[in-house]
Amino acid sequence: MDLGLQDQAAIVTAASRGLGKAAAHALAREGANIALCSRTDQIFTTADEIQQETGVDVLAVQTDLTEPKQIEAMIAKAHNHFNKVDILIINAGGPPPGGFLDLKPEDWSAAVDLTVMSAVRLCYAVVPHMLEHGHGSIVATQSYSVKQPIDNLILSNSLRMAVIGLVKSLANELGPKGIRVNSINPAWTWTERVQQLMTDRAERSGTTVDEQAGKVTEDVPLGRMGTVEEYGKAIAWLASPAASFIHGHALMFDGGATKTAL
């Protein structure tokens, strides 16, 4: 299937590794030109890797998503480079784990900045450019916890719901102006970070990585984690013109782990 992404300009945040990198790779393989950002200089290595593999135009900008001025500068640089922004993929590292009694109000403030306000600020910076060109596609990566809260992740459970509210509200407001807005909500997906987590759990418990992975996927009907390649294909489709009538939707990328009917 041709996703219609050839020569489109996409911005992908937190893209040096993991899900962000997978999204950028998938979009680039479909012919989209990519602007990537991350708070570490690893983003330049990732950009070189994607450019060499796909041959598309790749721009890397080191950016801390908790810093408003850095977000504005990154979006401006991407727009000046490509003369347009067709796609925005909103992605950020997850807030720290913990229950309510483990955390302090300042932990909530920091998590709001990372999870909620980064999405808000990215949209404020990008939407005017999309309106200028009369079209656009925004996809926010969140978590399947928006439908099924995960124990010991109260910050993520709470604040990702706020982003879903933002996505749905923006969809209602911006749809008539030609801008689609959706979210993708992954469950356990096999990234470098998850590999490290499973290895650590295995070492501490005297088990194997496979055994630990099996424990977290016991409630997944497909019986395994998703792969970054599968995630990349899903988000590239959702962001693309091939999904032109999908709007205001929370796509669950979870292998059936979410137990709700809707």
Which residues pair with residue 33 across a beta bridge?
Answer: 9
Quick: pLDDT tens for 168-219. Answer: 999 999 999 999 999 999 999 999 888 888 888 889 899 999 999 899 899 8
Q: Where residue 150 falls among pLDDT bands split at 50, 70, 90?
A: confident
Which residues pair with residue 184 across a beta bridge?
Answer: 141, 251
Verdict on whether the full-model pTM lies above 0.75: yes
Checking 70-77 for CB contacts under 8 A at 24+ apart, the result is 71/118, 71/121, 71/122, 71/125, 72/121, 72/125, 74/11, 74/35, 74/37, 75/11, 75/122, 75/125, 75/126, 75/129, 76/125, 77/35
**Whole-number Å distance between alpha carbons of 125 and 19:** 22
Mean pLDDT of the chain: 96
Residue with tokens 């933002």: 166
pLDDT score, position 124: 99
Domain boundaries along the sequence of the chain: 9-187+227-253, 190-224
* CATH architecture for residues 9-187+227-253: 3-Layer(aba) Sandwich (3.40)
Cα distances (Å, whole numbers) of residue 171 to 125, 137, 139, 149, 187: 16, 10, 11, 24, 23
